[in-house]
Amino acid sequence: MVIKDDVAIVISGEAGQGLQTMEKLLSRMAKLNGFHVFTASEFMSRIRGGNNSSLIRISSNRVNAAVSRMDIFIPLNPDAIARFTGRITRETIVFADTANIEPEYRSSGFRVRGMPYADISRECGGGKCLNIVITGFLCGLLGMSEEILLDEVRKRLGKLDEESVQKNIAAAKQGFAAGRKETIDGDLRISLKSSDAVKNELLMDGTSAVGIGALAGGCNFMASYPMSPSSNLLVFMAEKAADFELAVEQAEDEIGAVNMACGSWYAGGRAMVTTSGGGFSLMTEGLSLAGCTETPLVIHLAQRPGPATGLPTRTEQGDLNLALYAGHGDFPRILYAPGDFAEAVDLSCRAFTMADKYQVPVFLLTDQYFLDSSYNVENIDRGALTAERHMVKTEADYKRYRITGSGISPRGIPGWGEGIVRLDSDEHTEDGFITEDFAVRKSMVEKRLRKLDGLGDDGVPPRLIGGSDYRVLLVGWGSTYAIVREALRVSGATGISFLHFSQVHPIPPQTAGYLSKAKKLIMIENNATGQFGRLIEASTGFRFAKWILKYEGQQFTVEDIVNALSDAEKS
């Protein structure tokens, strides 16, 4: 059997068996050996037990999308192979300890090859090196460098005592030798092309991309309360705090966090909060506070399936309406949803500029799949990342809420200039005094809403993937980008293009022009009700003929979209 140019590996086992270590080591090994790599994690909401899995794609070409295909499957316990039976095909090679394979699977016709991972682990380290044995095995199977492997094992485990490090190095060596034997003595051949350029690229995950963009945007304060899957961004920023003059506060709850962020912006800081579903629900009063006081605010909303606790460690694009309509009263906001890591860096940085310039809340919508995926990217152009600031030194006659044609009043901060900076969460006059004058109320509402008029020039237009002479137009947003793009490429479908939105509110003015050219519109979303599609329909009047929706807690795969396109062409 020959696997050429793209290998999809799935490792599945209990929480606590070291899946994350294997995923991270294999990712780094792939990059250092000049191969493109993509990983995606899925895990149950528990610290021990259950059944988690890691998808690792290693390729001769750039890859950044999830697939259903499993070329190589490694189950670490009996439950794993039972859970993935539906994805095992005649082409899948299962490398497993025989103890993890029930008799019915061994005689089912699956390509099962027994591997003594546990025996090797016990021999080398008393059974504690299983994940390193399997990492070594896969590196040997894929033709990677043993020298680089041993160097990476030592670096990753360098904090252990020397005896433990040596046991893990021995485990890596034996695993590597077993993997090499499979490709030398067996019938499996894996053909991957290496590229020196890849070795120098960045290997990052979605969380890091958002964090890097925030730092580039001048973020100097973060207050949040931990909630999956947003917590990793809080950890990332805390780890970078000392290097970037950044203050990070784990607040007592989400109410405290959002109010701290508003206070930071009021005092001249550039603050961000990161949260998920139920945590954001607690922030809605603070969101309205920012809307009324015209205080900038950047909110990273990491989506997961609801309602209530829902599936706390799974993925979904189910919080668009929550972000769009949260808070009481009418006030403007901006919503971004990056499609890839480069865009996440750019939009996270941009969020701070737009919040500062328009004095509105800016949302960055991601999801568990996006945040916990990783792949190699070309170096980020740091010169293109700018942190614009839009504060003024106040004069003696300063009015915080001065009526302007653009709706944007000059924003001063206390202590900088001669003027007095008055803010109030009640309706207020231009000077910031409480008022119940109906005419003033009307003018203030209209002033705040006029800010959206200026967003046309500052908006992020949608990206068109494919030719401009399309008959069918797919529409999607956020993390579906790479998946749909690859599906279009591998399907070979003609007359079909993909319009991807990373600014989901306000709807970019170019939208109607793209939609009007299609004979058939298809919406793709990771939720049950087509939230973004309904928003587009309400904003433009165009109707979608077909909806491709997924909402069981998993991301789309390339095969999901290919199959849906095939069905769409028949209908």
What are the tens digits of pLDDT across the range 123-160? 998 778 999 999 999 999 999 999 999 999 999 888 88
Rounded distance, CA 466 to CA 531, Å? 24
Question: Distance (Å, rounded) from C-alpha 447 to C-alpha 360?
Answer: 12
- The continuous run of DSSP H or E covering 72 comes out as strand 72-75
The token pair that represents 271 in the structure block: 């603050």
- Residues of the chain within CATH 3.40.50.970 domain(s) are 203-384
DSSP letter string, 59-71? ESS---S--S--S
Predicted confidence at residue 476, as pLDDT, reads 98
pLDDT of residue 77: 86
- Specify the fold of 2-200: Pyruvate-ferredoxin Oxidoreductase; domain 3 (3.40.920)
pLDDT of residue 571: 62
- pLDDT tens digits, one per residue of 506-517: 999 999 999 999
Q: What is the DSSP string of 110-127?
A: -EEEE--HHHHHHHHHTT
For residues 400 and 425, is the Cβ–Cβ distance under 8 A? Answer: no
Does pLDDT of 33 surpass 90?
Answer: yes
The Cα–Cα gap between 278 and 371 comes to 18
Q: Locate 119 and state its tokens.
A: 């025996």
Predicted local distance difference test score (pLDDT) of residue 103:
67
Domain with CATH 3.40.50.920 in the chain: 461-570
Six token digits for residue 498:
């993909």
Least confident of 99-113, 132-146, 432-446, 452-466: 99-113
Residue 324 has pLDDT above 90, yes or no: yes
Mean local confidence (pLDDT), 527-532? 98
Q: Which residue has the higher pLDDT, 381 or 561?
A: 561
Three-state DSSP class for 551? coil
- Give CATH for domain 461-570: 3.40.50.920
Q: Which amino acid is at 186?
A: G
pLDDT at 107 over 70: no
- pLDDT value, residue 570: 65
For residues 247 and 570, the model is more confident at: 247
Say what the pLDDT of residue 125 is. 80
Which are the contacts of 81, defined by CB distance < 8 A and separation ≥ 6?
12, 73, 75, 88, 94, 96, 100, 101, 102, 105
C-beta neighbour count of 546 within 10 angstroms:
15
Residues of the chain with CATH 3.40.920.10: 2-200
3-state secondary structure of 504: strand
Overall average pLDDT of the 443-455 stretch? 93
Contact 70, 49 (CB under 8 A): no
Q: Interior CA angle at 420 toward 414 and 425, to 5°?
A: 80
Statement: residue 418 has pLDDT above 80: yes
**What is the number of residues in the chain?**
571
Beta bridge partners of 374: 39, 205
pLDDT grade for 380, boundaries at 50, 70 and 90? confident
- Produce one character per residue of 87-121: b if its CB has 16 or more CB atoms within 10 Å, e if not: ebeeebbbbbbeebbeeebeeeebbbeebebbebb
Which tens digit of pLDDT belongs to each residue from 463-502? 999 999 999 999 999 999 999 999 999 998 889 999 999 9
Burial class from Cβ neighbours inside 10 Å (0-12, 13-18, 19+) for residue 48 reads exposed
Contact 374, 203 (CB under 8 A): yes
Per-residue pLDDT at 104: 62
Q: What is the mean pLDDT of residues 374-381?
A: 91
- HEC-encoded secondary structure of 269-313: CCEEEEECHHHHHCCHHHHHHHHHHCCCEEEEEEECCCCCCCCCC
Q: Please, which residues bridge with residue 96 across strands?
A: 114
Between CA 253 and CA 256 the distance in angstroms is: 6
CATH number for the domain whose boundaries are 203-384 = 3.40.50.970
